[in-house]
Amino acid sequence: MIGIFDSGVGGMTVARKIEQVCPQFPLLYFGDVAHTPYGSKSSDTIIGYSRRNTDFLLNQGAQVIVVACNSAAATSVDVLRAEYSVPIIDVITATSSKAAAGTLNGRIGIIGTRATIQSGIYEKQIKRVTPDYRIYGQACPLLVPLIEEGWLNKRETKMILRRYLHPLRQHQIDTLILGCTHYPLLTHLIQKKIGKKVQLIDSSIETAQHLKSFLDNSPEITSNIKEKFNGYQPHCLENNRFFVSDSTPPLQKLADGIFGRKINLIKTNA
C-alpha cells in the first residue's frame, strides 16, 4: 500500500496522479488539515508533524511513503529516511531534475511556502548538476490558505498571485517550478500571469512518474504489496482511503474537484 501525506488537500493532486499511473496499487492518504499550512512553521515542528504522519500511515499498512508536501520534503525527508526502513519518496527530487532538463536559458523560478524557499533545497539540487543555472525563489505564503478556502478564481487571489510572480517575470525565467502541491490547482491563473512562454513544472506529475519508475524497478517491494493486499482489485478506486485531521465544506469541495468524484474524507485525531 502506498502512503501519501501532505499538510492539507494539496497533496491530493499527487495522489490523483499516482492513481492514474499506478492503478494497481492501493493508496492511503493523510491530509494534516488541522495544522496547515506547514510552510509558516519551524523546521522542528514540521519534522515532528512528518514523523507523526509517517507513523499513522505505517500503522494503517503503508509500505512506501510519499511526502507530498514540499515544506515537509525540504525539512524532514533526510530525518525520515534515517529513522524509517521503508522507502521514502519526495516531491522535490524528480521535479528538480525535470526543471533542470527543461530550461533553455538556464533561468528557473520557484514558488513555494516560506519553509521551502528558505531551505534552498531546489536550488541545491539543481546546482548540484548544473551549477551555472540561475535560480530565483519566491515565497508565496498566502496562496495555500486561499486555495484551502476554495478561492481559486477570486479577484483577491489573482491580485496576490500577480504580486508574487512579478519579480520572477523581471528575471526573465523560462521555467517555473510549482513548489507546493497545492499550486497545480492555480495552474490556469499562474500560466496567465507568468506568461505562456514559461514552462510550468508540476511536482504532482513528476512525483507520480518517479514513483512509478521506482516501483517498476523494485519487484520485491511490489510483490510484498500485492501479497499483503491480495484481496485488492486493481482499478477499484473505492479501495483507496483518505484521512484528514480536520474537514470543512470548502476542503470537501476541493477534494471532490481534484479527483472528479465524491471523496470520503475520514476524520482522524492521529
Query: What is the SS3 assignment for 202?
Result: strand
Grid coordinates representing 204 are: 504532482
- Residue 7 counted as an annotated binding residue: yes
- Residue 268 counted as an annotated binding residue: no
Question: Pick from 18, 195, 179, 168: which is nearest to 96 by CA?
Answer: 179
Sheet strands (E) in 20-157: 27-31, 64-67, 88-90, 107-112, 134-139
- The edge-to-edge listing of strands for the beta sheet with 88-90 is 88-90, 64-67, 2-6, 27-31, 241-244, 265-267
Residue labelled with grid coordinates 548540484: 128
Catalytic residue (one of 22, 69, 140, 236):
69
- Residue 105 counted as an annotated binding residue: no
DSSP 52-67: HHHHHHHHTT-SEEEE
- Residue 181 counted as an annotated binding residue: yes
- Residue 174 counted as an annotated binding residue: no
- Residue 6 counted as an annotated binding residue: yes
- Residue 39 counted as an annotated binding residue: yes
Catalytic residue (one of 22, 140, 180, 236):
180
Residue 180 annotated as catalytic = yes
Residue 22 annotated as catalytic = no
- Residue 38 counted as an annotated binding residue: yes
Residue ranges at the known binding site for substrate = 6-7, 38-39, 70-71, 181-182
Residue ranges at the known binding site = 6-7, 38-39, 70-71, 181-182
Which residues participate in catalysis according to the annotation? 69, 180
